[in-house]
Copies of this chain bind each other. A is one copy, B any other.
Amino acid sequence: MAVRTRGGRGKQPTASDTALLAAAPPESPVPRRLLAVATRLFADKGFDRTSVQEIVAAAEVTKGAMYHYFDSKDDLLAEVYARVLRLQMQRLEAVAAEGGPVQDRVRRAAADVVVTTIANLDDATIFFRSLHQLSEDKQREVRAERRRYHELFRSLITEGQEQGVFTDRVPADIVVDFYFGSVHHLSTWYRPDGELTAEEIGGHYATLLLDALRPGGGTATMG
């Protein structure tokens, strides 16, 4: 990580906290303001179409200042990825660590990732669109962290399948990719002024996932 000055943050922020992170008021310290502004611009116009000049202008900072805190424009993007991965992981770990029936934990996790994603739509937009704009090294790191996240989620699915509360007609791996595809694409169609709240969408998504995992009958494979 290249940011040389940054205070730690309390763990387990709520979804609404995380939205505040992105809103970074102009009086906040320089690196934070740069990150906030960059997130906004990257989501808006894409990484490659956002110039360093625009970022520093929007953050009311000089170029020199930016290069003082960040190694490169790339590094700025890497920080965005690090932030969102850290956040999602924290939330999933919290849910996974709770007690209760596995299907309840899966539902909570599934709904929560939707709500958090919607609360940080810019992050989500960047996440699914800009991975290839990161350097090879950093891509690898991101992918590795992402894999850890998926594996944790998958372990919950597997736990349910082993207990028989979930069907295993479809491999847990596939289920996880299937679900997170849906989640990532929220940034493509979700509009804050739509009919449904983030919580309602989270509920629906979780329902679709849980219903798909219901054991019993199953739909016959066509043929």
Give A contacts to B, CB under 8 Å.
45-46, 48-49, 103-104, 107-108, 111, 128-129, 132-133, 167, 169-171, 174-175, 177-186, 188-189, 196, 201, 203-214, 217-219, 221-222
- A196–B205 alpha-carbon span in the complex (Å): 25
The verdict on A49 contacting B201 (CB below 8 Å), with A167-B211, A185-B180, A208-B175 known, is: no
- A111–B221 alpha-carbon span in the complex (Å): 11
Judge whether B178 and A205 touch: CB under 8 Å: yes
Contact partners of A211 in chain B: CB under 8 A: 167, 169, 211-214, 218-219
> Measured between C-beta atoms, what is the minimum distance from A101 to chain B in Å?
10
How many identical chains are in the complex? 4
- Of all chain B residues, the one with the shortest Cβ separation from A212 is B212
Judge whether A218 and B212 touch: CB under 8 Å: no
- A48–B174 alpha-carbon span in the complex (Å): 31
Contact partners of A204 in chain B: CB under 8 A: 170-171, 174, 178
- Of all chain B residues, the one with the shortest Cβ separation from A104 is B222
The verdict on A128 contacting B188 (CB below 8 Å), with A183-B181, A214-B217 known, is: yes
